[in-house]
Amino acid sequence: MKRINQKGFTLVEIMIVVAIIALLAAIAIPNLLRARLSSNDSLAQSTLRTIATASESYGTANSGLYPTTMTSLTGATPAYVNKNYCGVSLSGYTYACTQTSGGYSFTATPITVGNTGTTTYTIVTGSVLTPQ
């Protein structure tokens, strides 16, 4: 029997393509996961700085007295910050707030260390951000 111009891929060619795709995926997926962790860490730091800046602005406008609740920041006209982050989970981090008229402490804790974030961050009165 004579084959007449049969077209298509052989099994070996298909297996080589699948192996190349698997190799590329094995290289790319860990890099994507690291990028996600880095992004979550950066967002946590940025969110803490935003809340601290809002608290410092409030303190400046109110004779050095800091806000005692997030409602003081979100309910002002115009608002110092648009969202209440206290007790909220956002992009792999949970935020906790301690506020008194004499100062504040805001903390961002990863929901799962190594999976959603790498470090717990705290920012205190004076906008001093520290990793823990």
The answer as to whether 97 is a domain residue is yes
> pTM value?
0.82
The answer as to whether 33 is a domain residue is yes
The answer as to whether 107 is a domain residue is yes
Residue 56 clears pLDDT 90, i.e. is over it: yes
66-110 per-position pLDDT tens digit:
999 999 999 999 999 999 999 999 999 999 999 999 999 999 999
- Domain extent, residue 85, equals 11-131
The total number of structural domains that make up the chain = 1
| Structure confidence at residue 2 as a pLDDT band (50, 70, 90) | low
The answer as to whether 118 is a domain residue is yes
The answer as to whether 1 is a domain residue is no
Which residues are CB-neighbours of 52 under 8 A, at least 6 positions away? Answer: 104, 106, 123, 127, 129
Query: What is the rounded average pLDDT of the residues 52-56?
Result: 96
The answer as to whether 5 is a domain residue is no
5-51 per-position pLDDT tens digit:
778 888 999 999 999 999 999 999 888 889 999 999 999 999 999 99
The answer as to whether 27 is a domain residue is yes
| Structure confidence at residue 60 as a pLDDT band (50, 70, 90) | very high
Is 79 in contact with 51 (CB distance < 8 Å)? no
Phi, psi of 79 (to 5 degrees): -70, 140
The answer as to whether 6 is a domain residue is no
